[in-house]
Amino acid sequence: MTLINRIRLVAIGLALSLSSAVVKADVVAVVSTKSPITALSRSQVADIFLGKRSGFPNGVQAFPVDQAEGSAVRDEFYSKVVGKTAAQIKAYWSKILFTGRGRPPPTVSNNLEMKKRISDNPAAVGYIDRNVVDDSVRVVF
Amino acid sequence: MPRITRSKLWRTPYSLCAIVLIALLPSPASVRAAAEDPSSSMFSLSGFGTLGVVHSSEHDADFTSTIFKPNGAGYSHDWSPDVDSLIGAQVNANFSPHLSAMVQVISEQTYDNNYRPHVEWANIKYELTPDASVRVGRTVLASFLVSDTRNIGYANPWVRPPVEVYSLVPIDSSDGIDASYKWHIGDLVQTFVGTYGATTSTQPTGGNAEARRQWNISDTLEYGAATLRIAYQRANLTLDGLHTFFGAFRQFGPQGNLLADKYDPYRKPLEFIGIGAMYNPRDWFVTGEWGTSQFHSVLGESTAWYASGGYRLAKFTPYLTYGALKANSNVSDPGLTVSALPPYLTGPAMGLNAGLNAILGSIAIQRTTSAGLRWDFMKNVDLKLQYDHTGLGAGSPGTLINLQPGFQRGGTVNLFSAAIDFLW
């Protein structure tokens, strides 16, 4: 194996691991930098997104915002943080919607929209890929 | 259709209440409105449905899912689409952050064997706080763990909730008021719901079932993926078809009166206690319920339970369920003492005794083992296949209906069900 080939292989390997790092990017829960909330537990985040908890621990009402159905970041969030598959979440909300007990959170179409929505509203809570976090939002989980 | 007209009239006060409520409420300062999704419209339409077929090995009786259906699989149909199929539509209206309303209409097989849509639920909800709300109108009467989603196949793991427990109290709506309060103790979420109202329903066998002064209280504890729920329900129940039958006993003096007082389902208390639990992490579930119903009348007392579990493998969720239903009350009665009667009355008395014992003996006793598979094969659609093996209690027809002369009580029944559930 020539040196050139070896370098090529390493480069391909690096590219592959980088791209898989992008695909598996961590999802983080975020609030506005104007929010007094600095940290939430996994179960607090899960309960807010499942409508089981209406407020932050400080008593202020929380407004969860979802990413689009079928998006990778949404599936990742529900799988890792809430512990449910996309179909289970759909079934969960159909239960609540069809008895008139509540509605699922409103949705935004991507990370950028989410950051815009979150940074504007101190009561909102959302989730984005960790690698797109900037100073418009604060990671709370 | 005088019956429909009458029931519509009877429900009018609630729609009046609703209009009055809307008119009286001040438009609340919209602290929340600014935070809510500005693109969400005031009205939203959504729906659900199930297309299912059921085949039964018992050809001399019908299997069906509730007592409100006139026929099903077995005797009436080799493959019945009526047992599980339904379609529902719901309109939600959000007038303000505090005030909302919903109407849910369902089309499914009715007592008179057509698919005329009926209003399942219709109510106005006022949220005092995000954790406390009051609803007025027709709301869910949640006797069981999955009463809320009894009609929404997609939300349940099985083709239908286990009939052993869910046949104990077949009513799932109440016209009246309900209040809900939720609070948190650390990571524990507790929800208390109280419902008060009345329900009128028409039975395929003729006559109305009327539950008055009906109240239900339930407490649900949720901790992560675990749910525990306990409910108590009470009502005054009248089945007017049977009331006429027991009126005939009153022609037979003190003994006849005693029998009628004991068995006539006329304004008799109905009590129900139910406990249910579920643990549902991402990849598997276990759930079980226990319930006991006491109709202080010829309908008797029953106790039932089931346990069910499933494991998710990618898009497939195989599951197993075992359910049992037993009677706690007497299944026969000596009835009127025929020998003490003048000869011209012995014939009618024997007829009444036979009728009484036919009703007492038809109380459902059965055990079912089920195996099934749910396949989430596309977004918002699942396919389920389920096999049920039911052993009927000695002398009991179980929950089967339309018993034919060749029907053998105490036998076994095998069911095969296939269903597609969807949300739209």
Instruction: Enter the tokens of residue B92.
Output: 């939600």
Per-residue pLDDT reduced to its tens digit, B305-318? 999 999 999 899 99
Q: Is residue B118 in some structural domain?
A: no
In this prediction, residue B355 carries a pLDDT of 95
Superfamily grouping for domain A26-139: Periplasmic binding protein-like II (3.40.190.10)
Q: Is residue B361 in some structural domain?
A: yes
Q: Is residue B5 in some structural domain?
A: no
Cα(B191)–Cα(B49) distance, integer angstroms: 28
A95 to chain B, any CB pair closer than 8 A? The answer is: yes
Interval A54-60 mean pLDDT: 87
Q: Is residue B397 in some structural domain?
A: yes
- Tell me, what's the ipTM? 0.76
Dihedral in degrees, nearest 10, Cα atoms B163, B166, B167, B169: 180
> Taking the mean position of all CA atoms in its chain, how far away is CA B261?
27
Provide the residue range defining the domain that includes B371.
51-82+127-423
Number of domains in chain B: 1
Query: Is residue A98 predicted with pLDDT exceeding 50?
Result: yes
Of the candidates B160, B162, B163, B82, the one whose C-alpha atom is nearest the C-alpha of residue B374 is B160
Cα(B201)–Cα(B213) distance, integer angstroms: 15
Contacts of A27 (CB under 8 A, 6+ apart): A73, A76, A77, A80, A81, A127, A128, A129, A130
Q: Do A90 and B380 lie within an 8 Å CB cutoff?
A: yes
Q: Which amino acid is at A27?
A: V
In this prediction, residue A74 carries a pLDDT of 96
Cα(B172)–Cα(B147) distance, integer angstroms: 7
Low-confidence ranges of chain B (pLDDT < 70): 1-40
Q: Is residue B239 in some structural domain?
A: yes
> Taking the mean position of all CA atoms in its chain, how far away is CA B29?
40
A52 to chain B, any CB pair closer than 8 A? The answer is: yes
Cβ atoms of A56 and A138 closer than 8 Å:
no
Q: Do A95 and B148 lie within an 8 Å CB cutoff?
A: yes
Interval A49-65 mean pLDDT: 90
> Which of B86, B102, B141 is the best residue to mutate to test the A interface, defined by the most A CB atoms within 10 Å of its own CB?
B102
Report in angstroms the alpha-carbon separations of B229 from B41, B112, B173, B178.
34, 35, 18, 17
Query: Is residue A15 predicted with pLDDT exceeding 80?
Result: no
Contacts of B385 (CB under 8 A, 6+ apart): B372, B373, B416, B417, B418
B119 to chain A, any CB pair closer than 8 A? The answer is: no
> Taking the mean position of all CA atoms in its chain, how far away is CA B41?
33
B50 to chain A, any CB pair closer than 8 A? The answer is: no
Other Cβ atoms less than 10 A from the Cβ of A96: the count is: 18
Helix, strand, or coil here: A92? helix
Nearest CA distance, B187 vs chain A (angstrom): 7
Cβ contacts of A92 on chain B, cutoff 8 Å: 155
B225 → closest Cβ in A83, A95, A106: A83
In A1-141, where do the E strands start and end? 27-32, 63-64, 66-67, 107-108, 124-129, 137-139
Helix, strand, or coil here: B270? strand
Q: Which residue of B has its CA nearest to A96?
A: B148
Interval A72-99 mean pLDDT: 90
Cα(B423)–Cα(B155) distance, integer angstroms: 9
CATH of the domain at B310: 2.40.160
Query: Is residue A124 predicted with pLDDT exceeding 70?
Result: yes
Q: Do A92 and B155 lie within an 8 Å CB cutoff?
A: yes
Cα(B217)–Cα(B143) distance, integer angstroms: 9
In this prediction, residue B53 carries a pLDDT of 97
Cα(A16)–Cα(B387) distance, integer angstroms: 47
Q: Is residue B27 in some structural domain?
A: no
In this prediction, residue A14 carries a pLDDT of 52
Q: Is residue B173 in some structural domain?
A: yes
Of the candidates B164, B156, B163, the one whose C-alpha atom is nearest the C-alpha of residue B419 is B156
Cβ contacts of A63 on chain B, cutoff 8 Å: 32, 35-36
Contacts of B214 (CB under 8 A, 6+ apart): B141, B174, B176, B195, B196, B197, B198, B199, B233, B234, B235, B236
Cβ contacts of A52 on chain B, cutoff 8 Å: 182, 189, 222
Per-residue DSSP letter, A82 = I
Helix, strand, or coil here: A66? strand
Residues in chain A: 141
Instruction: Enter the tokens of residue B408.
Output: 């053998």
In this prediction, residue B212 carries a pLDDT of 95
